A = this chain, B = another copy of it.
Amino acid sequence: MADKEKKLVEAITSRDEDFAQWYTDVVVKAGLVSYSNIKGFIILKPAGYALWENIQRLLDQRFKATGVENVYLPLLIPESLLQKEKDHVEGFAPEVAWVTQGGGEELTERYCVRPTSETLFCDFYKNEIHSYKDLPMVYNQWCSVVRWEKETRPFLRSREFLWQEGHTMHATREDAEKRTQQMLDVYAQFLEEDLAIPVIKGRKTDKEKFAGAEATYTIEAMMHDGRALQSGTSHHFGDGFARAFDITFTGQDNKQHYPFQTSWGLSTRLIGAMIMVHGDDSGLVVPPRIAPVQVMVIPIQQKKEGVLEAADRLCLSLKAAGIAARLDDSDKSPGFKFSEQEMRGVPLRVEIGPKDLEAGKCVFVRRDTREKVECALNEAPEKAGMLLEDIQTALLASAREHLRTCTFTAKNWEEFTEAFRETRGFVKAMWCGDVACEEKIKEELSVTSRCMPFEQEQLAETCVCCGRPAKKMVVWGRSY
């Protein structure tokens, strides 16, 4: 057993030594994923899928509170449908998988496995929308999509991933714009309140926007290594797709109009974000609100009379208080159980042994700070609830502090290059709006414009790259 304990801990690369390797170690050792035989397709194991189930449940509640209804559209898209919107097909055609045979025969037309479903929703909406009375239509689907990526990493970039994609239609440009921003707010609130991840909300530059969109809004999060992860996007399409698909409705003025469209998506990438924001050298740290197991009850000297029974009672009392508690009554040593609970990121553990039993108490240990808190057994459920809230708050505060201290400003090219040379993180700088500057910055510094934050600051009068008059403040960074 001692060997196995050692193995579990030894197996993790230090986070500061090799962040990429640390990440790969954690996703496997924490039991989140397993690699399949097919490149870029991962298996979500119970601990990994349970995170997605909680994300789905919490986000779905937030969606439904804003009037979203769920639907399910086909997995396959005929090539002719994908091609209807020019920018969109150019963006996606190179990275789709094509079904060419079915039922033992060559198909007369290729079908791609959906990489995203704008075209299918347009085809569907064409039949559903006739009058202004039918609008808005605010639909969402939970599904998997396929994009044939060259480089893949679990959760961050894979050939198949689980996500939700919302697609809405509105009578006016203003309504569509409002929904686009509303869903970005839902995402930002979900990340901050449930995943304890602070984000920067902003608009993508034209170069970085979604294929076919008029405007793409994004939430950008900072990982522990200072790199950015685009964590959710919300797109306003204007009436471009509607025109391409000839979707019209009769307005109150009795004339024909094109409706305005949005889409917004968020995926299992978020699990990668959670790992890279909160994890440490002992493994995962899961924020309590999305933790499938919030408290692990670990008996000490469990063969001693009464210990297991007391641990079981303690576990039941926590469950009765609505806490997701689990008892580890396996025959592993307590030390091994601690390592395992820490590796899996269970936010709180409670230890109970013969001496505690005698004294009518137990000991909580926080996953984030390792702080130990003694507690009377009859007060354990209340205490656990408070500690979980504290942990949730502390994780967000710590991630906020990290984002703050690793965000720099640059007024000119010298400061800009130095910031990226000397530090890891985001750099805020002014931009003239010209894609040539974006491209030059990417080429010379390997960083991209993450977004033009909604909260603009006037850092300087001129573009950090070309010195011409500046139009927008942009957040720049290395990204996943």
Contacts and interface: CB of A to CB of B under 8 A. Distances in A.
A143 interface: yes
Given A36-B124, A37-B78, A41-B76, A71 B46 contact: yes
A120 interface: yes
A102 B148 contact: yes
A337 B373 CA distance: 59
A146 B76 CA distance: 10
Given A38-B111, A113-B113, A139-B46, A103 B72 contact: no
Nearest to A123: B37
Contacts of A72: 43-44, 49, 52, 144, 162
The oligomer's copy count stands at 2
10 contacts: A36-B123, A38-B111, A41-B75, A43-B71, A46-B69, A94-B103, A95-B104, A98-B101, A99-B113, A100-B101
Interface in A69-115: 69-76, 78, 81, 94-104, 110-111, 113
A53 B57 CA distance: 11
Say whether chain A's binding surface is mostly helix, strand, loop, or mixed. Answer: mixed
A45 interface: yes
A34 interface: yes
A37 B75 CA distance: 12
A466 to B, nearest CB: 35
Nearest to A52: B72
B123 A76 contact: no
A98 B160 CA distance: 16
Given A73-B36, A74-B36, A150 B113 contact: no
A333 to B, nearest CB: 15
A61 interface: no
A254 interface: no
A98 B100 CA distance: 6
Interface string A191-235: 000000000000000000000000000000000000000000000
Closest 6 interchain pairs by CB?
A103-B148, A41-B74, A46-B69, A44-B72, A98-B101, A97-B102
Given A46-B71, A75-B75, 19 more contacts: A36-B73, A36-B74, A38-B74, A41-B74, A43-B71, A50-B69, A50-B70, A72-B144, A75-B113, A75-B160, A76-B160, A95-B103, A96-B102, A97-B99, A97-B101, A97-B103, A98-B100, A99-B100, A100-B101
A174 interface: no
